[in-house]
Amino acid sequence: MPAGKTVLYRTDGPIAHITLNRPEVLNAEDMTFLADMTEAVHALRDDKEARVAIVTGAGRAFCSGVDLKALSSGRIDLSFFTGLEPLWDILENCDKAVICGIQSYCLGGGLQIALACDLRIASDDAILGLPAVKECLVPGVGPFRLPRLIGMGRARELLLLGETVDARRALEIGLVNEVVPRADLQSRCLALSERFLSIPRTSMIQTKRLSNLAFQTDYAGYMRAYVPAQQACLASPEHQAALTAYRADQVAKRK
């Protein structure tokens, strides 16, 4: 891993790892972070071998959000905020399953990363929130993604009051998919990665792409996308392999 990088990208076979790497400031985001995250996300997007990605934070926390020291000293400007959002769009729409492993603080820009991932696994000490309004900021695309995930009422409570929730409450409202002991976070993310790898790649990619249309198009628009997606699945070697396995299983059961 390159020394000094604030975001690290590595692969282990078909599993890619993006690690936020400013542990001394709880992985707070600054302009260098933006440059390094851009490199990492683009690497993931262009990686033909990777099928699953795990996004985690080094050290005690996942991400405490924007680096307020850098912001208050004028070292962060509007280009930081506009530069991050296209990256989360790539995460949300890339042809990989993306798992976010959250420990301790997952605030502001940290939660925005998590919202762009497909699954969010939180440790039992996680604290999540979008406190941007308290600094007179808009929480990026949080107001766009959060209501779609947990509903408008609960989303507005978090967005407009800037309040945080603990792991248990985050699970109750659907903000995270699962809560595990801190010591088990990495192993649980890896176990989920293996489960994704057992799913045919073609159907996983097409289903992810179609589910992203759920709040972006009407039924007719969905059907226009669905038909070629299903055609691609039916024509895939993976589908034929699944049918062959099914027929073999039926023969075995009759013996």
- Looking at the structure, tell me whether residues 160 and 55 fall in a common domain: yes
Domains contained in the chain, number = 2
Tell me if 167 sits within 8 A of 126, measured CB to CB: yes
86 and 100 housed in the same domain: yes
Domain-embedded: residue 36? yes
Would residue 89 count as lying in a domain?
yes
Find, among 32, 17, 30, the residue nearest to 71 by Cα.
Answer: 30
Do the domain assignments include residue 2? no
Question: Cα(first)–Cα(last) distance of the chain, in Å?
Answer: 54
Q: How far apart are CA 64 and CA 70, in angstroms?
A: 13
173 and 128 belong to one structural domain:
yes
Q: What global pTM score does this model have?
A: 0.94
* Low pLDDT (below 50) residues in the chain: 1
| Domain termination residue (choose one: 176, 197, 218) | 197
Same-domain check for residues 128 and 219: no
Domain contains 97: yes
What pLDDT is stored for residue 3 in this prediction?
56
Residue 32 counted as domain residue: yes
Among 197, 228, 245, residue at a domain's last position? 197
Return the CATH number at 151.
3.90.226.10
Tokens representing 221 are 């628009």
In a domain, 245, yes or no: yes
The vertex-91 CA angle with 90 and 94, nearest 5°, equals: 70
**Are residues 94 and 173 located together in one domain of the fold?**
yes
Distance CA 93, CA 206 (A): 11
Let me know whether 49 and 115 are in one domain. yes
Same domain, 154 and 240: no
Q: Is residue 143 part of a domain?
A: yes
The answer to whether 124 touches 180, Cβ cutoff 8 Å, is: yes
Residues 110 and 186 in one domain: yes
Residues in Cβ contact with 63 at an 8 Å cutoff, skipping those fewer than 6 apart: 20, 26, 27, 28, 29, 57, 105, 106, 107, 108, 109, 110, 113
- Please tell me whether residues 191 and 205 are part of one structural domain: no
Residue 189 sits in the same domain as residue 210: no
**Residues 152 and 31 occupy one common structural domain:** yes
* Per-residue confidence (pLDDT) for residue 1, from 0 to 100: 47
Q: Which two tokens stand for residue 228?
A: 């070629």
Q: Are residues 209 and 113 in the same domain?
A: no
Cβ-count burial of 220 within 10 angstroms (0-12 exposed, 13-18 middle, 19+ buried)? exposed
Instruction: Single out the residue of 119, 124, 123 nearest to residue 99, CA to CA.
Output: 119
How many helices, marked H, and strands, marked E, lie in the chain?
A: 11, 9
Q: Which helix (H) or strand (E) holds 10?
A: strand 7-12
Q: Are strands 7-12 and 97-102 parallel, antiparallel or unpaired?
A: unpaired
Domain extent, residue 206, equals: 201-254
Q: How far apart are CA 120 and CA 177, in angstroms?
A: 5
* pLDDT score at 49: 97
> For 13-88, where are the E strands, in sequence order?
15-20, 52-57
CA angle 35, 123, 209 (to 5 degrees): 55
Task: Give the per-residue pLDDT at 124.
Answer: 98
Instruction: Tell me whether residue 1 is in a domain.
Output: no
Say if CB 89 and CB 116 are below 8 A apart: yes
Domain boundary among 160, 179, 197: 197
pLDDT at 166: 98
